[in-house]
A and B are shown apart, each in its own frame.
Chain A
C-alpha cells in the first residue's frame, strides 16, 4: 500500500513537473501554474508518506494556497500571451538540455557513490509536537529572524507595488 502510494505520488509529481516546464500542448502560464499546484500537492502526499504531517499541511496551505494564488493573480494582472508567439530557441534548448543532463548525470553519480544504504530503517515520527518543541527551543532565534524577514518582505512588496518606478 505504502509502496503503491509512493509510486503514485512520485509519478504524479514528476509528470506534473514536466508539464509545468514544458507542456507540449499549451505554453500558457496559467496551465504551468495549475500543474505546479498539482506537483505541490503530490509532494505533500510524499511528505505524508515520510511522516512529515505538519510540513505536508504547510505545503498545501502556503504553497498550493497562498503562493500559487499569488502567481495566478499576477498572471492575470499581466498580459502574458506573448510567449506563445515566440518560437523556442534551438540553441537555448540544446544548451539547456546538455547542461541539465550534465548536472543530472553528476548528481546521479554522487547518489550512487554515497553510502546511503546504511541509513537504516525510517524511524523518525514527524509529529507536530516534537517539531514545535525543536522549533521553539533550539531554533528559536532563526524562527524570529524569519519572522522579521517576512515583515521586511511585506514592507518591500508594499513599497514596490504602491508607487510606479520612475
Chain B
C-alpha cells in the first residue's frame, strides 16, 4: 500500500505531463488543471507517507547486465527514509504553491499548455532524484532535470537571451554531469554495486573499500552537484537562467534543481565521508568561496531577479559548506535543514518578485521601482518576512538553519570558513535590504511604480501559504528529522520558548556573530539606500562597483577560455588534417606510387634490345631457379 503510494507520487506528474503533451496542449485551462491536480495529489501522498512514517525500498529489477560479481544489476527502486520523505514534502509543497501561482502569472500567455507540461515533467524528474535508490537511476533523473530545466528556462525561446540562457544552463550542467558520471563509474568499478543501501553497508563494513580512489570519487561526484547547485566555478548559468518565467526561477531556485545537488551530496554522504578522503575539505571551501563571491556580486546587481539569483547562489554555498564541514560529525543534516527552510522563503521571495514584476508590467530594474510597500501590501509584507528569514533574524526559520551551519562550522574547527560565513551573512542582509529599501519603501522612481496594483488572489494566496513555513519552519524540528537519518540521538522536543532560544544556549558565539553580522548589514543598507534615488556605491568605489556589476568578468573569462581552447583544438585538428592526413596519408600514398611509376617508366625504353636483354635475364633467372632445386 505504502509502496503503491510512493510509485503514485512519482508517476502522477509524469502522467500529467504525458496527458498534457498528448491531448490537452492547446487547452490551457485543462492543462493547468491536470498539472496542478497532479502536484497537489503528490503533495497529499507525501503528507500521507509522512504521517505513516513510511520506510522501505520498493524496487524492481530493470536491467540485469551479467550475473555474479562482475555483473551489474540495475534496479528501478524508491528509497523511503526520513531524508526522502521530508524532501518529498518540500518539493511537492513548494511545487504546489508555484504551480498555482503560475496560473495567475502566465494568464496572458498562449503557450501555457506547453509550460505546464514542462513544469510537470520537471516535478517528475525532481521527485525521481529524491526517491532514487541507486546511482544510475539518480543520474537518469538528474539528466531529466537538466532537460526539463532547458525546456522551462527557454520557455520564451523566441527571445534570444532566453534561448541562450537555456543553452548555457544545459551545457554548464553537462560539464558537471560528465564528472558525476565518471564518479559513478569509479564507485561501481571499486565496489561493484550502485545501490545506496548496499554501498552504505559495504562502506560501513570496510571504510577503506574505496582505497586511494576515495578522494577522486568524492570530488567527481561533487562535480555533478557543482553543476546542478551552481557552485563556483560552474555558477555562471544560474543568474542567466533568470530569463525563464519567474515561477520557473522560483521552482529551480527554491525547491528543485539547485537543491538537487545538495540533496544528492547528503544522500551519498557516506561516499564522501570515508576516512582519508580530502573531498569534504575541498567541498567546504568551494561552498564558502561560492557563498562569498555570490554575495559580493549580488551587492551591485540592479535586476530584482538577478539579486535573488545571486542570493540563491550564496545560500547554496552555505549548504555546500555545511556538507563539507560535517565530515567529523558524519551528519550533514544542517545542510538539509537550511535547504528546507531556504526552499520556503526563497520560493516566497521569487514569487514576491514575480508579483512585483507582474504589477509593473515586466519591469525588473529595482531603480525603476520604489514606494511599492503601499501599493502592493500583501506582496510587501510577505517579501519582507522572507527577507528577514533569509537574513537570519530570529525567530524566523532562516535564523535557525543558518545558525546551525555557523555553529557546525565553528565546532568543526574551520575558523577561517566561519569568519567567511559570518561576512557573507552581513553581505546578505546588506544586499537584501538594499533591494527592499530601493524597491519597496524608498521613493517611487517611475510612473509604472506609482500606478502599480496588487496581484490577483491566485498569486497572493501562494505567497501567504509560503509565508507560513518561512516563519515557523524553525519550530517544526526539521533538523531532528534529518538528524534521525544520520543516526543522531532523537533529542526530545522542548517547549516553544526553549526552542526559541536554543541556538543561544547551544552555541552562543555563532548565534551572536550571525546576529551582529545581520545588524551591521542592515545598518549599511539603511545608511546608503534608505532614500536613495540612484546607487551611491559606483560614485564611491567606482572600480570595485563596476567589477561587481560586471560579475567579475567570469562570463568573459570563460568565453575567452572556451574560445581559445576551441581555437587551439581547431588549429590542431586543422594541422593534423593538413599535415598528417593530407600530407602523409594522401599525398604520401600518391607520391609513393608516382615515384614507383616513374621508376617503372625507366624500364620502358622502347628499345627492342633492352627488352630482349630483360627477357634473357628472366630466362636465366628461371633456369637457375629450376636447376637450383
Contact = CB atoms under 8 A, between A and B. Distances in A.
A95 B613 contact: yes
A103 B623 contact: yes
Interface in A47-80: none
A96 interface: yes
Nearest to A89: B609
A106 B616 CA distance: 12
B140 interface: no
Nearest to B609: A92
Contacts of A109: 627
Size class of A's contact patch?
10 to 19
Interface in A76-116: 92, 95-96, 99-100, 102-103, 106-107, 109-110, 113
Contacts of A110: 623, 627
Given A106-B623, A106-B624, A99 B617 contact: yes
Given A92-B609, A95-B613, A102 B627 contact: no
B616 to A, nearest CB: 5
Interface in A106-132: 106-107, 109-110, 113
A103 B617 CA distance: 9
B619 interface: yes
B42 to A, nearest CB: 99
A109 B627 CA distance: 9
B620 A102 contact: yes
A99 B617 CA distance: 7
A103 B620 CA distance: 6
Interface of B is mostly: helix
Nearest to B617: A99
Interface string A30-54: 0000000000000000000000000
A106 B613 contact: no
Most B CB within 10 A of own CB, among A96, A99, A113: A99
Contacts of A113: 627
Contacts of B623: 103, 106-107, 110
A99 B619 CA distance: 10
B617 to A, nearest CB: 6
A110 B627 CA distance: 7
A95 B620 CA distance: 13
A100 B616 CA distance: 8
A109 B617 CA distance: 17
Contact of B619 (A92, A95, A96, A103): A103
B365 to A, nearest CB: 97
Contacts of A95: 613
A128 B412 CA distance: 129
A151 to B, nearest CB: 29
Contacts of B620: 99, 102-103, 106
A120 to B, nearest CB: 25
A96 B613 contact: yes
Nearest to A100: B616
A106 B617 contact: no
B609 A106 contact: no
A95 B605 CA distance: 16
B263 to A, nearest CB: 91
Interface string B606-629: 000100010011011001100100
Contacts of B627: 106, 109-110, 113
B618 to A, nearest CB: 10
Nearest to A99: B616
A104 to B, nearest CB: 10
Interface in B84-137: none
A110 B629 CA distance: 12
A96 B616 CA distance: 9
Contacts of B613: 95-96, 99
B614 to A, nearest CB: 10
A103 B609 contact: no
Nearest to B614: A99
Contacts of A102: 620
Nearest to A101: B620
A99 B624 CA distance: 13
Contacts of A96: 613
A111 to B, nearest CB: 11
A114 to B, nearest CB: 11
Interface of A: 92, 95-96, 99-100, 102-103, 106-107, 109-110, 113
Interface of B: 609, 613, 616-617, 619-620, 623-624, 627
21 contacts: A92-B609, A95-B613, A96-B613, A99-B613, A99-B617, A99-B620, A100-B616, A102-B620, A103-B616, A103-B619, A103-B620, A103-B623, A106-B620, A106-B623, A106-B624, A106-B627, A107-B623, A109-B627, A110-B623, A110-B627, A113-B627
Which 5 pairs from chain A and chain B are nearest by CB? A99-B616, A106-B623, A102-B620, A103-B620, A95-B613
Given A92-B609, A99-B616, A110-B627, 6 more contacts: A99-B613, A99-B617, A99-B620, A103-B616, A103-B619, A103-B623
